[in-house]
Structure 1
Amino acid sequence: MNPFIGYHLATSNNFPPYSQKLQEYWLAANGLFLRSHRRELEICLQIAQTQVAGLQPLEPYFRLKVPKVPSQAIAEIINAASINPQQEILFYLGVTNNQWWCHTPLQTASSTHVLSLESALDKSYTDSFVEMHSHGTLAAYPSSADNQEEKGKFRVFAIIGTLNTIPTIYTRIGIYNHFFDINPNQIFELPPQVKCLN
């Protein structure tokens, strides 16, 4: 048995309480689902669509357990990233007592990459729920380097781009080695000048 992953058959339309596993795979009548949770979020997303006789169908869900990131915080991040749009910049966002905070870690960056120089055990990292970085004047889509760096984590990843014209934002959730596009409006209260890419 895997100590971190649970495997289940959907014999009922209702989910039981969460297990102590980091993630749960559910085979249902309508496909394969991945379920997980953390303090800020409860989520169940469909990985594969198929038909399985004898099981019950399941419905995906996305339940944010904290307020959305306020638009003022996003505007401040965009302003900070716009100071030097030729260089990427990384931010950690977390929420304490329903109040969001933003931390800019000590980092090394260029026009195509950014890397935190702080420890992964640092509280600002372990307590963060959203990792956001800029792509400067480039499109706000994840690169192959982003895909590699963001594996193995359970958090929201956001990219802001095209800072020289209309700022854009792309958002996805990583559940360990699975990535799912999500609408930025599910996480953020966006300023009116920011355009969503998904």
Structure 2
Amino acid sequence: MNIPELITRKFLFASDQPIQAPLYEIAIAQNGVFKRARRREMTAVIELSSFAVRIEELAIEKARVELKKKIPARIFAEILNHSRNSTDAANFTENLYAVYWDEQIEKYFWKEISGTRSFGSTIARDDDAAYQNALLEIHTHPPGCREFSNQDDCDESGKFRLFGILVDIHGEKPAIRLRVGIYDSFWEIPIELVSDALPENLTDLVKQEREQFAKTCKNLRNEVNEFVLIGEYYATENLTYIENL
């Protein structure tokens, strides 16, 4: 019997080279090393490292997440409303949800799948079909806890799916953070990559941070340009002085 390799390693010679490994593959591309995986509902590529010097003989790859069909924004709104109603601000406990694709009906559904709940943790009912088939696993975090925790990293390793946290659910500005996980490798993504619209009343933390970073980089570039222009000015003065000697 010919048993296929669960994990493969390859050179990427074409940008449309298909993903064939049952679990995931490591692809060496022109511009870096990438982890690639696919399942019925999703294809995902995470950049593991980038090359300072490109390998021109290979194809270019890029980090990406592509869904068979994007998740309706109403799903995120419904989960937020349910999480608010399932616990109060004074006695907060985390809650866990699964978003899954029904192949027969061709629609997304969500389900609350918490087995046990406390202020800082929640454990899934791992025998629940919704959990087993989840495309997105999303849980609430205590107020102010806006990052995935070390425990989240541990719990979410060994899976290929989307992960999310909902933060400050009882506040004026509840927020969401999403990432894709490919068997122990994670990449944070803006919600617009996987949702058909931006959910109302939810701040996308990843998008917000990227916009702030881009603004900071732009300001730094402007400062560098001003410095260069001043340097050019003084250099011109010096050059004129030398020529007049």
> If the length of structure 2 is used for normalisation, what is the TM-score?
0.73
Query: Equivalents in 1 of 2:21, 2:50: separation in Å?
Result: 26
Deviation at 1:107, TM superposition (A): 1.5
Deviation at 1:55, TM superposition (A): 3.3
* Partner-residue secondary structure (3-state), 2:94: coil
Task: Choose from 102, 109, 131 the match for 2:110.
Answer: 102
2:179 pairs with 1:176 = no
User: Structure 1 counterpart of 2:157, which letter?
Assistant: K
2:167 pairs with 1:161 = yes
Task: Choose from 92, 108, 125 the match for 1:117.
Answer: 125
Matched positions, count: 194
**Bigger CA radius of gyration:** 2
**Percent of paired sites with the same residue:** 26
Superposed, 1:42-57 pairs within 5 Å as: 42-50=43-51, 51-53=53-55, 55-57=57-59
Task: Choose from 80, 100, 106 the match for 1:78.
Answer: 80
Query: Which protein, 1 or 2, shows the higher relative CO under an 8 Å CA cutoff with sep ≥ 6?
Result: 1
2:166 pairs with 1:137 = no
Query: Equivalents in 1 of 2:55, 2:114: separation in Å?
Result: 53
Query: Equivalents in 2 of 1:144, 1:18: separation in Å?
Result: 30
Aligned to 2:14: 13
Contact 1:162 1:168 in 2 (8 A): yes
* Partner-residue secondary structure (3-state), 2:198: coil
Aligned to 2:23: 22
Contact 1:35 1:45 in 2 (8 A): yes
Aligned to 1:91: 97
Aligned to 2:215: none
Task: Choose from 64, 68, 76 the match for 1:65.
Answer: 68
Contact 1:9 1:55 in 2 (8 A): no
Higher strand share: 1
> If the length of structure 1 is used for normalisation, what is the TM-score?
0.89
Contact 2:126 2:132 in 1 (8 A): no
* Partner-residue secondary structure (3-state), 1:72: helix
Query: Which structure 2 segments of 5+ residues have no match?
Result: 207-245
Higher helix share: 2
Contact 1:171 1:181 in 2 (8 A): yes
Q: Which moved more, 1:47-56 or 1:174-183?
A: 47-56
Deviation at 1:2, TM superposition (A): 8.5
Query: Equivalents in 2 of 1:74, 1:48: separation in Å?
Result: 32
CA deviation profile, 1:73-106 (whole Å, cap 9, x unmatched):
2112111211314110000111113311111124
Deviation at 1:14, TM superposition (A): 3.0
Q: Which moved more, 1:168-177 or 1:186-195?
A: 186-195
User: Structure 2 counterpart of 1:142, which letter?
Assistant: F
